[in-house]
Structure 1
Amino acid sequence: MRKYLYSLIFLIIASACADLDVEPVDRASSNIIFSEASSYRSYAAKIYAAFSLTGQDGPSGSPDITLVSDEGFTSYIRAYWKAQELTTDEAVIAWQDAGIQDLNTHVWSSENQFVRVLYYRLFLIIPLANDFIEVSSEENIAKYDFSETEIVEIRKYRAEARFLRALAYWHALDLFRNVPLSTSVTSQAPEQSSPTEIFNFIKEELIAIEDDMIDARANEYGRADKGALWMLQAKLYLNAEVYGQADHYTECIEALNKVLGAGYQLSNRYQNLFLADNHTSPEMIFTLPSDGERSQSYGSTTFLINGAIGGSMVASDYGASGWEGLRTTSAFVDKFDDISGETDSRAIFYTDGQSLQINDLLVFTDGYAVPKYRNITSTGEPGVDVTFADTDYPMFRLGDAYLMYAEAVLRGGNGGDEGTALNYINDLRERAYGNASGNINASQLTLDFLIDERAREMYWEAHRRVDLIRFDLYTGGEYVWPWKGGAIDGTSIDPFREIFPIPASDLAVNSNLDQNTGY
C-alpha cells in the first residue's frame, strides 16, 4: 500500500464554518502543538485532505462542515466536479437529492445545497491555509529550537499552503467571481473583492512562491511542486479574458513551456490514467490521492467510479459497487466518430441496455454509461475495497498542457509555434488511435477542432464548464445539448449562469457581500 501525505489520521481539527475569520479550534494550544516539527506536516496534510476528504473519521463521522445530512456530499472535489460537469453536455445524474437536478437543468438558486457546499468548502480551505501560513512564519518558527533541516521542511510546507490557497482562490474566482479576499486570520467580517483583485492576487502569489516550491517531479507524491504551480498559472492565464482581464496567452505559453520541459511523459495507454495504479503514471502533474484503506471518502473518484456503474453493468468488473447515477448526453457521444473504443480508445462508453437519448433524467439507463474511472489496476487487480477507490483524481496532467499550449498559440500567444502545437495534438491522437491514423494536418488545427478535442481527451476531469465558457458556448443558444435549460432537446440559458450565486446563508451573516447579478 502506497503512502502519501494525508493517508493517516490528522492531528489538526478544522472548524466547520465558511467565515474567513475563523481559526482552527486547536489554534488556542498552538504554542504547544507547533513546538514539534511533525505538527506542521500534520497541519499541511489537513489542508491537502480538505480537497478530497470530508472529516476526521474516514467516510463519515466528525465532518468538517455540517451543511447537509449526507457527509459524502461535502467532499470538495465531488462538489467541484458536479459544478463543472453536470452543468454541461458531458454528464447528467439520476439522483433526486434536493437541488441536484437543478444543476442538470440550469435552474439553481442561492439556496441550492450543492452550490452552498462548494462555496463553504472553499472557504474552509482558505482560512486553514491562512492559519498555517501564519503559524509557520519565520517569526513563529524562530520561537522553537528547530534544526536547520526542520526549518527548511517547514518552509516547503508553507509555500505549498500558499499554492493550495491560490488554487482555492482560482476555483472561487472561476465559480463565483466576486468573493472575499483574505490572507490572514482576523475577527472582521470579510469584504467582497473584485474579480480583478482576486486575479491579481493569484497571479502575484504564484510568482512570489515559485522559487520556494520543490522542483517539478521531485516532491513526495500527492504534494504540489513547481509543475503544479506552472499548471495553475497556465489555467489562470488561459482564462484571463473570461475573468474580465486583458489576454495573457503569452504568459500562458511561458508557464506551459516550463511544464513541457520538466520531464513529464504521456502514459502509453489512455485508460491507465484512470485506474487504481494511476499514481505510477509519468503524465500526472498534480493529483488528489485516494486510498481505499487509508483515506476513505464518498467523494473524489469513489463517487466517479461507483456513480457511473449500474444497469446491466457488473460492478465487480470495475472494482466497484454500483450507485446508478452518472451518464452522458448524446451531444458528447457525437464528438466521437466511432463510440466502440476500437478506433479512438478514449471513447469509453457502456451501451448495453442503455439508450443514447435521455428521455428521463432520473432513469440510469437513459444515456450511455461512462466507466472511465475504475477501481482496478492496469494489470487487472481490484482495489483494496469495492466501495472506496484507490484511483487518484487527476487535477493536472500533461495531456491538458498539450491542449492548452495549442489553444494559447492559436489565440495569438507568443513563445510557441503552430508546428509544435500540431505535434503535441498528434501525440495525443496517436496514443488514442494506437497509430498515426488519427493524426490531423495543420489546416485542421483550429479552435473549433480544439474545443471538441478537449472534450474527447479531458472529459469527466472537471474542465468542461470552464472550456465551454471560454469558447462562448456555455450560455446562450449557439450550442445546446439535451436538458440544457431544462428542455429535453436543450435550449438557451441566460449569461448570468456562467457563475454561481453567493449562498443566501452567507449573505445573511455578512452584510459586506452583494449577490451576483441575476440571482
Structure 2
Amino acid sequence: MSWIGLGWIYTGCSSFLDVDAPSVVTDDFYDTKAGQEKLIVDVYSKFRSVFNTGELQYYGTDLYMAITENETERMFNGYDVTFNSTAPVVGGYWNNLYKIVQESNILLTRCTPEVAGDDYAAMHAKGTFFRALAYYYLVETFGPIPFYTEEQTEVLTAVTRTPEEDIYTFLIEDLEQVRGVLGFGNATAGEVNDAAIHFLLGKLYLTRAYKSYGSAADFTAAAALFEAIIGSSSYSLLDSYSAVYDENNQNNSEVVWAIQYGTDRNFQGSGNPQQGLFGFGIVALEPNLFTRNQSDYSSMNRGYWVIPSAHMYFTDPALDTRYDATFKREFIVNNPESEAYGQLGIYFPRWNDDSGETHDARNFYPFMTEEGYNWYPQSTALPELSTAIDRMPIVHKFKDTKMDWGGPGTREDVVFRLGDAYLLAAEAYLGGGQASMATQRVNTLRERAAIDEAAYNDHLRVGSVDLDFVLDERARELFGEHDRWFDLKRTGKLVERAHAKNIFVQKYDNLNTDHLLRPIPQDEINKTTGLEQNKGY
C-alpha cells in the first residue's frame, strides 16, 4: 500500500463539485484551503466506484445473481472452491477505499482553523464522515485491517491488522465528535450533512450491536439516531412510493445523501450504471418490435440478474404498489417499421397471476410454466433455468431518460434515504427488545405502499415482525439499491438466505462462514509483511 503520488483525478458533477482542477498538483497545494476543498471533491468522486462495485453489493445474496459462470461470477456469485485472493474485484475495491482513507487523513491532518477559517469545522466533519464510511466498508469486507488515522507519508512495507472492535470504537467516537456540526437538511444536492452523519453513525452502532463485542446499548443508540432523521422536519415520506424514484424529483424529501452525476459530460465520469443493471437486451432479442429509445425504458446492459424467486418476496403484488413501481412489465412496440407499432409488444403478468390474461400482447410471458421458471436467461448449467426465455420484467425504479442510449447514466445514486432509516430503526428496535416499535416503523412503509386503505387494513398491515420479516421488507422497499450483501452479513443471515434462494450458491454448495469476509488482495500481501490472509482463502 503506497501513499506516495496520489495524483489528481477529477470527476465532479453537481454545482457542489464545480471547482477547477489544476493540471499539475504539488503536495504543498494540500496545505491550502483551496487544495483541501479539492480533496473533498476527489474523495466524494471516489465513492462512485465504491457503490458501482456490484459484485460486492449484489452478488451472492438472496436477491441477485449472475447467469454466466466466468471466474469472477463463480467466486462472488456462487462462492465456489476457486474463490481466492487474486480476484481482481477485491484489489480495486481495497485500493480505492484506502485512497479515500489517505485523502481524508490528509484533509484532517492539514486542515486547521488558521487555514480554513470559518469553514474549518464543516470541512473537518466532512473528512471524518468520508473516512468513517470508507473504513466501514473495509472492515465489513475484510475484517481486521491496517488502520490509520493520520496522513501516511512513506511507502508502507510492514503493517498490522487492527482488531475490528478497536476500529468500531474509534469510528463511533470520531463521528460522535462531529455530530451536530453540519446543517441537518439537504441545502445542496449531494453535500454531506448532519443527517448523513447520523445515518452512518446509526449504521455503525447497529452493525456493532450484532458482534461479540457489541451490546444492547448499541441497538438503543442506533434506534435513537435513525429516529432523529425520521422525526426531523427536514425529511418526510412522499405520498407515493413511485414518487421517490421519479427522475424529475431527485433530491426529494426522502434523500438523505446521494452521489451526484448529472448531464454535464465534464462531470459525470462514466455515469451512474443503475438504470441498466437489472434487465435484458430487448432490442437485440426483439429487433422487429423494438428500437433504441431511452424514453421507453432504460439502457439494458444485462449487468446483474434478479433471482426468479425474489419476485415472491412481494407476497401481494397487486396490492403493494412497490412491485409495479419496481418492475416494468409492459413494453409497447416502438419500432416504426413494425406492423404492431404502438401496440402492446411484451406483457409479463405479476408473478402470482395465473389467469392467463394476455392483454392482447404480441408476446405473453408468464412467470412459471409446467417446466419451471419461464423468465430469465436459459442456462445449461442450471436445470431450474434450462427452459427460460431470456426475457424478464426490468427494474425501472432507476429509469433514466436524460441519457443517450447506452451512454453514461445521469441520475443521482441514492446511498442513504428515509425509507431505509425506517427499516434500520425497526431492526434496531427488534434487537433492543421493542418489537411493537419495530412493527410500527414497518407498517408506516407498508401503509404508504398499499394501493388503497382497504388493501392496507385487510392485507398489508402486520401485527408483528421478526428479523426475517424486516429483511423481506428491505427487499420490497429497497430492491436494486445498495448493501444487500452487507445487510445479510450484519444480521447473520447471509449463509442461510443465500443457500435458500441463490441457485448458483445451491449448485456449488460451498458457501460457509469463512465467506463472511472477502479475501485480502494477494498483491497487498505480497508487498507487505504482517498482512496475513483471511481464513478459507
For Structure 1 versus Structure 2, the TM-score category normalised by the shorter chain is: 0.7 to 0.9
Give the greater-gyration-radius structure (CA). Answer: 2
SS in 1 for 2:44: helix
Counterparts of residues 476-495 of structure 1 (less than 5 Å):
476=496, 479-485=499-505, 487=507, 491=509, 493-495=511-513
Q: If the length of structure 2 is used for normalisation, what is the TM-score?
A: 0.77
CA–CA distance in structure 2, aligned partners of residues 12 and 255 of structure 1: 42
CA–CA distance in structure 2, aligned partners of residues 138 and 158 of structure 1: 10
CA–CA distance in structure 2, aligned partners of residues 204 and 504 of structure 1: 32
SS in 1 for 2:256: strand
Q: What is the aligned-residue RMSD (CA, Å)?
A: 3.0
CA–CA distance in structure 1, aligned partners of residues 79 and 55 of structure 2: 12
User: Which one of the candidate residues 480, 500, 508 is aligned to 2:518?
Assistant: 500
CA–CA distance in structure 1, aligned partners of residues 466 and 71 of structure 2: 41
Q: Which residue of 2 aligns with 1:383?
A: 402
Counterparts of residues 117-136 of structure 1 (less than 5 Å):
117-136=92-111
Listed one character per residue, the Cα deviations across residues 155-208 of structure 1 (whole Å, up to 9, x for unaligned) are 312210111100111111111112111011232444211111111111111111
For residues 374 and 455 of structure 1, do their structure 2 counterparts lie closer, same or farther at Cα, with a shift above 3 Å needed?
closer
For residues 219 and 342 of structure 1, do their structure 2 counterparts lie closer, same or farther at Cα, with a shift above 3 Å needed?
closer
Whichever residue aligns with residue 511 of structure 2, its letter is I
Whichever residue aligns with residue 105 of structure 1, its letter is G
Matched, 1:29 2:28: yes
For residues 91 and 366 of structure 1, do their structure 2 counterparts lie closer, same or farther at Cα, with a shift above 3 Å needed?
farther
CA–CA distance in structure 1, aligned partners of residues 46 and 468 of structure 2: 37
SS in 1 for 2:489: helix
Q: Which residue of 2 aligns with 1:89?
A: 62
For residues 384 and 293 of structure 1, do their structure 2 counterparts lie closer, same or farther at Cα, with a shift above 3 Å needed?
farther
Matched, 1:46 2:24: no
Equivalent residues of 1:501, 1:516 under 8 A apart:
yes
Listed one character per residue, the Cα deviations across residues 30-52 of structure 1 (whole Å, up to 9, x for unaligned) are 2xx644x4433222111111111
Q: Structure 1 residue 327: deviation in Å?
A: 2.1
CA–CA distance in structure 1, aligned partners of residues 498 and 84 of structure 2: 24
For residues 249 and 389 of structure 1, do their structure 2 counterparts lie closer, same or farther at Cα, with a shift above 3 Å needed?
same
Whichever residue aligns with residue 446 of structure 1, its letter is D
Q: Which residue of 2 aligns with 1:290?
A: 261
Structure 2, unmatched stretches of 5+, are 1-12, 284-289, 330-347, 349-363, 368-373
Highest RCO, 1 vs 2 (Cα 8 Å, sep ≥ 6) = 2
Equivalent residues of 2:279, 2:305 under 8 A apart:
no
For residues 106 and 211 of structure 1, do their structure 2 counterparts lie closer, same or farther at Cα, with a shift above 3 Å needed?
same
CA–CA distance in structure 1, aligned partners of residues 132 and 16 of structure 2: 19
Listed one character per residue, the Cα deviations across residues 341-379 of structure 1 (whole Å, up to 9, x for unaligned) are 875445525446683366528999547343234344xxx
Matched, 1:323 2:297: no
Q: Which residue of 2 aligns with 1:192?
A: 161
Listed one character per residue, the Cα deviations across residues 237-286 of structure 1 (whole Å, up to 9, x for unaligned) are 21214443223111111211221222211123323333433423100111
Q: Which residue of 1 aligns with 2:220?
A: 250
Equivalent residues of 1:339, 1:349 under 8 A apart:
no
Aligned length: 458
CA–CA distance in structure 2, aligned partners of residues 223 and 259 of structure 1: 16
Counterparts of residues 299-314 of structure 1 (less than 5 Å):
302-312=272-282
CA–CA distance in structure 1, aligned partners of residues 377 and 64 of structure 2: 11
Counterparts of residues 308-387 of structure 1 (less than 5 Å):
308-312=278-282, 316-317=294-295, 320-339=298-317, 343-345=321-323, 346-350=325-329, 351=348, 355-356=374-375, 359-360=378-379, 366=390, 368-376=392-400, 382-386=401-405, 387=407
Q: Structure 1 residue 336: deviation in Å?
A: 1.3
SS in 2 for 1:272: helix
Structure 1, unmatched stretches of 5+, are 14-25, 53-74, 142-149, 377-381
Q: Which residue of 1 aligns with 2:126?
A: 160
Q: Which residue of 2 aligns with 1:269?
A: 240
Q: Which residue of 2 aligns with 1:64?
A: none
Q: Which residue of 1 aligns with 2:423?
A: 403
Percent identity for Structure 1 against Structure 2 = 21
CA–CA distance in structure 2, aligned partners of residues 201 and 516 of structure 1: 23
CA–CA distance in structure 2, aligned partners of residues 367 and 205 of structure 1: 48
Whichever residue aligns with residue 356 of structure 1, its letter is W
SS in 2 for 1:293: coil
CA–CA distance in structure 2, aligned partners of residues 245 and 371 of structure 1: 39
CA–CA distance in structure 1, aligned partners of residues 22 and 180 of structure 2: 29
Equivalent residues of 1:10, 1:46 under 8 A apart:
no
Counterparts of residues 139-288 of structure 1 (less than 5 Å):
141=115, 151-186=117-152, 187=154, 188-189=156-157, 190-212=159-181, 214-217=182-185, 219-247=187-215, 248-263=218-233, 264-288=235-259
For residues 375 and 482 of structure 1, do their structure 2 counterparts lie closer, same or farther at Cα, with a shift above 3 Å needed?
closer
Q: Structure 1 residue 226: deviation in Å?
A: 1.1
SS in 2 for 1:181: coil
